[in-house]
Chain A
Amino acid sequence: MDRDSIGKLFQAAVGGDAAAWKALVEGLSPLVWSVVRAHGLTEADGQEVYQTTWFRFAQHLRRIREPEKAGSWLASTARHECLKVIKATRRLAPTDDPEVLDRAGDDRTPEQSVIDAEEAAAEAERVRQVWSAFQELGENCKRLLRVLMASPPPSYQEVSAALGIAVGSIGPIRQRCLRRLRAHLAEQGIR
């Protein structure tokens, strides 16, 4: 989402427009979810962090001074909550084993059902191949790409807030990770 539309929806939501709030939630939820996924939390922990992030955003709605940066605010809040959950989990269970980004095919979405149709079988296969190649990447690449693949594409400010890395380092790392992904796919004869 671009800053202008975020800013406008934000102002409308502060003014009591529930439809604007819903549009904000729909537009920025994939970013929040990507941040949670990028940190490799378990399903249950990830859902709690997602909710805490949005509850807190609603609570702070009238106190946030730079509406157009709402995406960065959400990404940063989600990141901090993820880090706390990771710390708390390690403390309770030193040998914890979070389900890192491993979710291929456990929930069938309506989209999944559609692409399962016979005429789309080839595309479904390609999606699975791309996802499985993505999961073979190293942790750093998986973390960055999982945030970058939010829809709509997050700005680098938002990515920076989501992962605590400098804006300037995102481009070069992204390029390297996507090249690696391309190489993985090429190895399997996928273009």
Chain B
Amino acid sequence: MNDEHRARDPVNDEDALEDMLRHAAGIIDPVPAHLLQTAVEAYALNTLDAELAELTFDSLDQSAAVRGAGQPRMLTFLGHGLTLDLEITAGRLVGQLIPPQTAEIEILGSRQITITTDTLGRFTCEHVATGPFSLSCKADGVVITTEWLTV
């Protein structure tokens, strides 16, 4: 169905009512100006040349039985032959890079944090800020960056 240009009859009462709602929303519930600005500034993110690591597992996508109450959020990212397993519980982030190796991890978000994994590819960060979050991993000359997520 081609609906890209919805037929709009100016004397149609429903269209007029929808337009009135649009007008009201623009006044009562507009996009907050500071948010619009963060989206404009996000353009800089598109220049990052790192390989994008894809989210291949998210415990929030699983059924309630698997998730369970109080369980950590578990995420797996894949990119450039590297697997990154993350567990997040109330601001505490625990990660494991596979294959195990030393790497530099940069957490991008409202606060930027850089940490180094141990020789087995493990790392912990105690105070991850809430909000949009992406993780960049530099290992053996390769850089992968995860998709942005809300945590």
Contacts and interface: CB of A to CB of B under 8 A. Distances in A.
Nearest to A47: B35
A178 B132 contact: no
B134 A157 contact: no
Contacts of A60: 52, 147
B28 A85 contact: no
A12 B24 CA distance: 32
The size bracket of the interface on A is 35 or more
Contacts of B18: 145, 148-149, 153, 174, 178
Contacts of B39: 25, 29, 50-51, 54
B132 A174 contact: no
A88 B73 contact: yes
Contacts of B46: 13-14, 58-59, 61-62
Contacts of A29: 31, 35-36, 39
Interface in B36-79: 36, 38-40, 42-46, 48, 52, 58, 60-61, 67, 69-71, 73
A33 B27 contact: no
Contact of B30 (A50, A62, A109, A134): A109
B140 interface: no
Contacts of B132: 48, 51-52, 55
Interface stretch (B2-10, B91-99, B111-119, B120-128): B2-10
Contact of A25 (B40, B48, B145, B149): B40
A155 interface: yes
